[in-house]
């Protein structure tokens, strides 16, 4: 189409969006730009299309909107529709409610959840906010000052110092008694010893999510469609080569109507991009060719054997401690960062509506095992998965973020055993004594847990108590799954998909390992960091174009 017609078309569209914006301006969340996808035009044009309004996606889109037109397509609804659901006391129920939380089970049998709501995982998670270690930032090749500024940008909106009450104080003291020292006080930093970290829950227990970062967005240049499930990315061929170039996406609203969003053409065509938050690459024809062909993905745009490889998680081993005292509701606040490579976090007073389990949720000590990245083959991805898409592919294949298999790697097991030994010391400490029944010992409790009907393993009732076996038997996810679109394998250092133009992946799937104790701070930071970088590239590009 002619350049000028395109331009005009875009102006009209922008005008329509501003108009619609003013109609919806007193919608919950305060954003005029949140709209249901049923209101989307058949075809629209933007400089950037961000797929997934998740943890990284919201930070990225808010930033890009400062100097470009941005469309966010989010398959879920708005967390502002039911603000109390995200309060701290509703953590477990909201995680179990399938409206915003999509259960999936990895092929290894690990139960896991995937967010389906604006704000992504920050709407469902335990809220602990903690930055990456300095080495992580250095290894990622990120610019240190930019990283610092991006963390601060995030923290201004969503991070808080928690109010530390009885149980968390006892747990903190117990960690110190168990030798996880020194005490580093309250800090967002990742430092060896025991600390109080940040949280996205404010003092009143209200959760602040990545969706709050959209307060930074330019109302006039951003549109967020909710209940917009992206089906595939569209490609053309880059002029003069056979290199595929992303130029738009197809998404479906909740009435089943399909819409197209395209990258705005005109002189910006070379710099505009689709930015993928979820892993739609395979469905769009980019991935291991044989695998795609087997599942009927057609056409195959690019054979990319590394898509879907290298997924991992921080496996977790929980220890539940019934308390004789009432305990406050708390998610993660105090955390132990020992120097052998596991982390110890805890929560308390979490009740779920299943009354029988209540007692066991009084105190939960979670042992997070540091890095474990199994080389996972494509066959480990779930083959059919209901993401409410009517996929035309044979088995509805979509890449899933999956917790890795339970590791029996001796190094991982040793880390876990060392961590459990520290947890036993925590439970047996003077500091913790108020929150356990008299006579209960760490070892006794671990034995008891293994003897529960759900996990009846008679061998643990023998006198030879095996911490290694406990590690293997009780491993679950802490939901820090990452990988599948790793830097250096699927995307380059600028998060551009290798072998394709105008397409980036910016989210946890690009990570080689999980940052710090918990990833959300760094995922939001990355959205901001890359948004700034993309805007600088854009300004440079447009300047050069003008000179030419
Ligand atoms: C129960 C739980 C507890 C956790 N606790 C903590 C914690 O205490 N601290 C911490 O730091 N981290 C925690 N995490 C991890 C952290 O929340 C996640 O790692 C992080 O949110 C992932 O961010 P992301 O941007 O990669 O993906 P997400 O935030 O999941 O974003 C992906 C978005 O894309 C959307 N989407 C997917 N497919 C499509 C499609 N086809 N079309 C349109 N939209 C689509 C999804 O709906 C979602 O909104 C926890 C996670 C969970 C689930
Ligand atoms: C599940 O969550 C949605 C959205 O917050 C809410 O409307 C619905 O009532 C919840 N369902 C249950 C059974 O709690
Ligand atoms: C916005 O774009 C203009 C023109 O390209 C450029 O001069 C300016 O530096 C950009 N600002 C930001 C914040 O990127």
- The β-bridge relationship of strands 503-505 and 273-276 is parallel
Q: How far apart are CA 310 and CA 54, in angstroms?
A: 21
Q: Half-sphere exposure of residue 354, counting CA atoms within 13 Å on the CB side?
A: 7
Nearest residue (CA) to ligand 2, atom 2 = 99
- Averaged over 265-275, what is the pLDDT? 69
Residue 309 annotated as binding site:
no
19: enclosing H helix or E strand: helix 3-23
Q: Which atom of ligand 3 is nearest to the CA of 532?
A: 14
208 catalytic, yes or no?
Answer: no
Q: Is the pLDDT of residue 425 over 60?
A: yes
Residue-range domain boundaries for the chain: 33-159+208-314+378-405+484-548, 163-196+315-372+406-474
Q: With bands split at pLDDT 50, 70 and 90, how would you rate the model's confidence at 136?
A: very high
Q: What is the mean pLDDT of residues 71-90?
A: 95
Q: Is 82 in the pocket of ligand 2 (CB under 6 A)?
A: yes
Query: Element (H or E) spanning 196, and its range?
Result: strand 193-196
**Shortest-distance atom of ligand 2 to CA 97:** 1
CATH fold group of domain 163-196+315-372+406-474: Cholesterol Oxidase; domain 2 (3.30.410)
Q: Give Cα separations from 235 to 10, 37, 474 (angstroms).
A: 20, 22, 45
Q: What is the mean pLDDT of the chain?
A: 80
Which residues sit with their C-beta closer than 6 Å to ligand 1?
A: 51-57, 73-76, 95, 113, 115-117, 120-122, 124-128, 228-230, 277-278, 280, 332, 479-480, 507-508, 518-520, 523
Residues 6+ apart with CB under 8 A from 391: 231, 283, 397, 398
Q: Tell me the C-alpha distance between 404 and 387, whole Å.
A: 21
> Given pLDDT bands bounded at 50, 70 and 90, which one contains residue 404?
very low
Q: What is the 3-state secondary structure (H, E, C) of 127-148?
A: CEECCCCHHHHHHHCCCHHHHH
CA of 335 to the centre of ligand 3 (A): 41
Distance separating alpha carbons of residues 389 and 253, to the nearest angstrom: 10
The dihedral of CA 59, 64, 65, 67: what is its sign? positive
Q: How confident is the model at residue 328 (pLDDT cuts 50, 70, 90)?
A: confident
Q: Is 230 annotated as a binding residue?
A: yes
| Residue 223 DSSP class | E
Q: How many CA atoms lie less than 13 Å away from 260 in the CB half-sphere?
A: 9
Residue 444: helix, strand or coil by DSSP?
Answer: helix
Query: For helices 442-450 and 410-428, what crossing angle results, to 10°?
Result: 120
The answer to whether 20 is a known ligand-binding residue is no
Query: Is the model more confident about 208 or about 1?
Result: 208
Taking the CA of 280 as reference, the closest ligand is: 1
Q: Mean pLDDT, to the nearest integer, of 446-465?
A: 52
Looking at ligand 2, which residue's alpha carbon is closest to its atom 10? 97
What is the average pLDDT across 341-369? Answer: 59
Q: Of ligand 3's atoms, which has the minimum distance to the CA of residue 535?
A: 14
| Residue of 295, 460, 480, 482 with catalytic role | 480
Q: Give the separation between CA 221 and CA 45, rounded to whole angstroms.
A: 12
| One fold for 33-159+208-314+378-405+484-548 and 163-196+315-372+406-474 | no
Asked if residue 85 has its Cβ within 6 Å of ligand 2, the reply is yes
- Considering only residues 377 and 365, tell me which one the structure prediction assigns the higher pLDDT: 365
Cα 269 to middle of ligand 3, angstroms: 17
User: What CA dihedral angle connects 277, 283, 285 and 287, to 10 degrees?
Assistant: 70
* CA of 123 relative to ligand 1 center, distance in Å: 8
Average pLDDT over residues 243-263: 95
Q: Flag whether 117 is marked binding.
A: yes
- Nearest C-alpha to atom 12 of ligand 1 is from which residue? 520
Closest Cα to atom 14 of ligand 3: 535
Enter the CATH code of domain 33-159+208-314+378-405+484-548: 3.50.50.60
Burial class (CB in 10 A: 0-12, 13-18, 19+), 447: middle
The pLDDT value given to residue 271: 72
Ligand 1 atom with minimal separation from the 230 CA? 42
Residue 469, CB-side half-sphere exposure with 13 Å CA sphere:
16
Give per-residue pLDDT as tens, 472-526.
Answer: 777 777 788 788 889 999 999 999 999 999 999 999 989 998 899 999 999 999 9
Stretch 337-362: mean pLDDT, rounded? 63
Q: Are strands 229-237 and 101-105 parallel, antiparallel or unpaired?
A: unpaired
Q: How far is the CA of 117 from the centre of ligand 1 (A)?
A: 9
Given a cut of 80, whether residue 331 has pLDDT beyond it is yes
pLDDT tens track for 192-231: 999 999 999 999 999 999 999 999 999 999 999 999 999 8
């Amino acid at each position: 189409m002619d350049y000028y017609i395109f331009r005009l078309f875009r102006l009209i569209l922008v005008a329509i969006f501003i108009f619609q914006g003013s109609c919806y301006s007193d919608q919950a969340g305060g954003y005029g730009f949140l709209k249901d996808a049923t209101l989307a035009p058949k075809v629209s044009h933007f400089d950037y299309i961000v797929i997934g309004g998740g943890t990284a996606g919201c930070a990225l889109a808010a930033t890009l909107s400062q100097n470009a037109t941005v469309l966010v397509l989010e398959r879920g609804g708005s967390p502002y529709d039911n603000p109390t659901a995200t309060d701290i006391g509703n953590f477990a129920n909201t995680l179990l409610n399938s409206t915003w939380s999509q259960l999936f089970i990895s092929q290894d049998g690990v139960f896991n959840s995937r967010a389906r709501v604006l704000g992504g995982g920050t709407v469902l998670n335990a809220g602990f906010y903690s930055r990456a270690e300095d080495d992580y930032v250095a290894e990622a090749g990120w610019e240190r000052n930019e990283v610092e500024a991006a963390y601060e940008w995030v923290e201004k909106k969503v991070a808080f110092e928690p109010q530390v009450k009885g149980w968390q104080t006892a747990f903190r003291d117990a960690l110190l008694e168990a030798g996880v020292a020194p005490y580093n006080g309250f800090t967002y930093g990742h430092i060896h010893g025991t600390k109080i970290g940040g949280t996205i829950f404010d003092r009143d227990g209200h959760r602040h999510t990545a969706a709050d970062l959209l307060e930074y967005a330019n109302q006039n240049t951003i549109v967020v469609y909710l209940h917009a499930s992206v089906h595939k990315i569209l490609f053309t061929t880059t002029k003069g080569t056979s290199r595929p170039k992303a130029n738009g996406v197809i998404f479906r609203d909740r009435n089943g109507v399909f819409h197209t969003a395209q990258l705005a053409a005109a002189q910006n065509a070379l710099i505009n991009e689709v930015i993928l938050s979820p892993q739609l690459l395979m469905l769009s024809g980019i991935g291991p060719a044989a695998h795609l062909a087997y599942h009927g993905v057609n056409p195959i745009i690019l054979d990319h054997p590394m898509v879907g490889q290298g997924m991992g998680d921080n496996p977790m081993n929980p220890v539940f401690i019934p308390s004789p005292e009432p305990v406050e509701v708390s998610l993660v606040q105090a955390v132990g960062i020992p120097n052998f490579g596991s982390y110890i976090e805890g929560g308390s007073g979490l009740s779920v509506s299943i009354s029988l389990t209540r007692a066991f949720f009084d105190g939960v000590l979670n042992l997070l095992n540091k890095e474990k990245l199994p080389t996972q083959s494509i066959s480990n991805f779930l083959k059919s998965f209901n993401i409410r898409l009517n996929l035309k592919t044979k088995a509805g294949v979509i890449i899933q973020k999956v917790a890795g298999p339970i590791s029996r790697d001796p190094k991982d097991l040793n880390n876990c055993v060392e961590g459990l030994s520290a947890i036993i010391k925590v439970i047996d400490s003077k500091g913790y004594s108020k929150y356990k029944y008299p006579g209960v010992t760490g070892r006794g409790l671990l034995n008891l847990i293994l003897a529960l009907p759900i996990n009846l393993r008679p061998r643990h009732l023998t006198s030879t108590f095996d911490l290694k076996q406990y590690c293997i038997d009780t491993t679950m996810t802490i939901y820090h799954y990452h990988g599948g679109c790793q830097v250096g394998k699927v995307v380059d250092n600028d998060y551009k998909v290798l072998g394709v133009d105008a397409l980036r992946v910016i989210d946890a799937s690009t990570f080689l390992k999980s940052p710090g104790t918990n990833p959300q701070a760094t995922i939001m930071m990355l959205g901001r960091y890359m948004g700034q970088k993309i805007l600088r590239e854009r300004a440079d590009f447009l300047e050069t174009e003008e000179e030419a």
